[in-house]
DNA sequence: ACCGACCAAAATGCATGCAAAATAGCCTCA
DNA sequence: TGAGGCTATTTTGCATGCATTTTGGTCGGT
């Protein structure tokens, strides 16, 4: 029942480490630690987060912890019920749709800006990653494929040269990460060939620096990911948690 | 020197009201009040925000106030220097460019989604606002023009049917509001005819429900606004505050 | 046995207190 | 006169304490 006992997947689960106190303010360390802990999906949707327990686990007092919770609430990772404490935010299907749509809009923007600013060397880098990713695809090496996939998207994001965009994108990406961890693995296989073809188009538009095209492809790419993710959630309704009221 | 004395424009300035205590948590009221106060541009860029003073002004203790400041920092409205308190965040020209770019991306997304979901009745509403706005343009009634302009953009945003998008857009819009308050007024006159023509295209694409076109027009519309705003800031460098270190 | 009221235990919201860091003022000295 | 260092004051960061609200459990009534 305690937070540290909720660890489910042994492998990726990282304990909610006590704050080191080595550097920076307590508030920042708590914020970063809690955020990482939540993003990694160590707590099921809707789980209560009692202050007292967290205080003991992290070895700090309630004041900085409460500050961190307010920030996490404003980031959309937890929700605060008045006089009733913090809960892990549970995303509905509609929330997930909205998040994917916004992520798609941000990727589209990144693609558009990247086409205006990317250097030939950076394009060459993306090409290299793309071919490596294709090789992973042919090898059916899903983990390598995922890693390169993410690197490509991040490279486009970086080439856009907009730190506000990067921050915002990362923020939304975090919210989806808990869903993605579960949805990506199995599900993507159905869509793998399709996704690979979309990435061919992404590279092509980027090479021609066609911002409008790249923008549109990236947006549709994300929408397809959304459909895949939601289909997975429908088939495996338990995995994201949401152990709401048991019948 | 005190915050309540920094009120500059008499007209739009709203005093930082003491918290009523009528409803909701102190934290939320403080957060909303401070945010509004900052958005309205009542404090110059870079101004220090001493906790003690704010506490006395709003009649609360430091704990909920500090919570609100952390949230405002995560929203990008203030910046917190370790052990040195909170300052009103000063936006560089690069920050403003990035904000306009992201806003443009979000508007483009809103346009795209709106084209998929908007009803005929909603389109009719936008048409009406558009013609009213055109009338304001012909009358050279700038305030009415601005009000309708904003209503149109908000109507498209609402028609997109994505609350995450709405929240995010509103957040960025807040950050720019301080800049916009100053930049819009005079500067827009140069661009007025051009902006009006862009709005003709916006309405046209919306009527044809051409998501790609609307998306592109809205993005360029925002980029043109950015150029105009930055040009204004170059000509009137003092108005946004930034009374950093006096030479 | 089920439902609601009542009471104890715990949790939240906020205020206050204390130590550490930063700032400002002052004095000394070149 | 101006620069540098020392001290007093202020300010921040965090911990703790208290009042209020919620929660869990028990008891009495139907």
CB distance B95–A162 less than 8 Å?
no
pLDDT at residue B4, rounded to an integer: 40
Of A70, A104, A108, the CB nearest to B27: A70
Q: In what order do the strands lie in the sheet with B85-88?
A: B48-49, B85-88, B78-81
Q: Is residue A56 part of a domain?
A: yes
Q: List the single range of A25-34, B123-132, B228-237 with lowest mean pLDDT.
A: B228-237
Is the distance from CB of A99 to CB of A176 less than 8 angstroms? yes
Chain B residues with CB-CB distance to A27 below 8 A: 70
Domain of A55 in residue numbering reads as 3-88
Q: What is the mean pLDDT of residues B91-115?
A: 93
Q: What is the mean pLDDT of residues B32-49?
A: 92
- For chain A, the residues whose C-beta falls within 8 A of a C-beta of chain B are 24-25, 27, 63, 66-68, 70-71, 74-75, 82, 95, 98-99, 101-102, 104-106, 108-109, 112-113, 162-165, 168, 172, 212, 215-216, 219
Query: Is B14's pLDDT higher than 80?
Result: no
Last residue of a domain, one of A58, A88, A118: A88
pLDDT at residue A32, rounded to an integer: 96
pLDDT at residue A110, rounded to an integer: 92
pLDDT band at B227 (very low <50, low <70, confident <90, very high): confident
Query: Is B242's pLDDT higher than 80?
Result: no
List the end-to-end C-alpha distance of chain B, in Å, as a whole number: 19
pLDDT at residue A192, rounded to an integer: 79
Q: Which residue has the higher pLDDT, B142 or B89?
A: B89
Same domain for A70 and A139, yes or no, is no
pLDDT at residue B223, rounded to an integer: 85
Q: List the single range of A225-229, B154-158, B172-176 with lowest mean pLDDT.
A: A225-229
Q: What CATH number does the domain containing B127 carry?
A: 1.20.120.530
Same domain for A20 and A107, yes or no, is no
Same domain for A131 and A222, yes or no, is yes
Residue B222 (CA) to nucleotide C11 (C1'), in angstroms, measures 48
Q: What CATH number does the domain containing A34 carry?
A: 1.10.10.10
Q: What is the mean pLDDT of each run of 10 residues along chain A (247 residues)?
A: 38 60 82 94 92 94 97 96 95 93 94 91 93 92 88 94 97 85 59 82 82 84 82 62 38
Helices H / strands E in chain A, number of each:
8, 3
CB distance A168–B165 less than 8 Å?
no
d(CA B238, CA A144): 52
Is the distance from CB of B174 to CB of B71 less than 8 angstroms? no
d(CA B191, CA B134): 14
Query: Is B247's pLDDT higher than 80?
Result: no
Residue B141 (CA) to nucleotide C29 (C1'), in angstroms, measures 68
Last residue of a domain, one of A67, A88, A109: A88
Same domain for B230 and B124, yes or no, is yes
Is the distance from CB of B3 to CB of B53 less than 8 angstroms? yes
Residue A48 (CA) to nucleotide C8 (C1'), in angstroms, measures 22
Three-state secondary structure of B79-120: EEECCCEEEECCCCHHHHHHHHHHHHHHHHHHHHHHHHHCCH
Going by C-alpha positions, the residue among A19, A177, A207, A150 that lies closest to residue A96 is A177
Same domain for B168 and B217, yes or no, is yes
pLDDT at residue A130, rounded to an integer: 93
pLDDT band at B214 (very low <50, low <70, confident <90, very high): confident
Last residue of a domain, one of B40, B55, B88: B88
Same domain for A136 and A80, yes or no, is no
Chain B residues with CB-CB distance to A101 below 8 A: 109, 113, 162, 164-165
Interface test with A, best of B32, B101, B114, B216 (most A CBs within 10 A): B101
pLDDT at residue A3, rounded to an integer: 38
pLDDT at residue B106, rounded to an integer: 97
* Chain C bases closer than 7 angstroms to a protein Cβ: 10-17, 21-23
pLDDT band at B7 (very low <50, low <70, confident <90, very high): very low
Alpha helices in B118-162 (DSSP H): 120-139, 142-159
Most distant pair of Cα atoms in chain B: their distance: 59
- For chain B, the residues whose C-beta falls within 8 A of a C-beta of chain A are 24-25, 27, 63, 66-68, 70-71, 74-75, 82, 95, 98-99, 101-102, 104-106, 108-109, 112-113, 162-165, 168, 172, 212, 215-216, 219
Query: Is B244's pLDDT higher than 50?
Result: no
pLDDT at residue B208, rounded to an integer: 86
Which one of A81-95, B180-194, B233-247 scores highest in mean pLDDT? A81-95
Same domain for B78 and B179, yes or no, is no
């Amino acid at each position: 029942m305690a937070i540290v006992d909720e660890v489910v997947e042994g492998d990726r689960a990282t304990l909610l480490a006590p704050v080191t106190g080595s550097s920076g303010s307590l508030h920042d360390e708590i914020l970063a630690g809690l955020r990482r802990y939540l993003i990694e999906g160590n707590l099921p949707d809707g789980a209560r987060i009692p202050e007292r327990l967290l205080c003991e686990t992290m070895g700090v007092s309630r004041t900085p912890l409460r500050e961190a919770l307010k920030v996490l609430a404003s980031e959309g990772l937890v929700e605060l019920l008045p006089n009733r404490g913090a809960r892990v935010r549970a995303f509905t299907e509609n929330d997930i749709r909205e998040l994917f749509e916004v992520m798609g809009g941000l990727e589209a923007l990144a693609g558009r800006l990247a086409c205006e600013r990317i250097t030939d060397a950076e394009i060459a880098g993306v090409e290299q990653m793309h071919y490596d990713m294709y090789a992973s695809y042919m090898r059916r090496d899903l983990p390598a494929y995922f890693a390169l996939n993410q690197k490509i998207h991040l490279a486009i994001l970086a080439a856009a040269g907009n730190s506000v965009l990067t921050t915002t994108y990362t923020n939304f990406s975090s919210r989806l990460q808990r869903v993605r961890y579960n949805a990506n693995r199995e599900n993507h296989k159905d869509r793998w060939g399709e996704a690979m073809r979309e990435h061919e188009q992404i590279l092509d538009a980027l090479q021609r620096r066609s911002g409008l095209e790249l923008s549109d492809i990236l947006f549709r790419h994300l929408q397809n990911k959304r459909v895949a993710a939601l289909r997975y959630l429908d088939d495996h309704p338990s995995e994201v948690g949401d152990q709401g009221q048991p019948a």
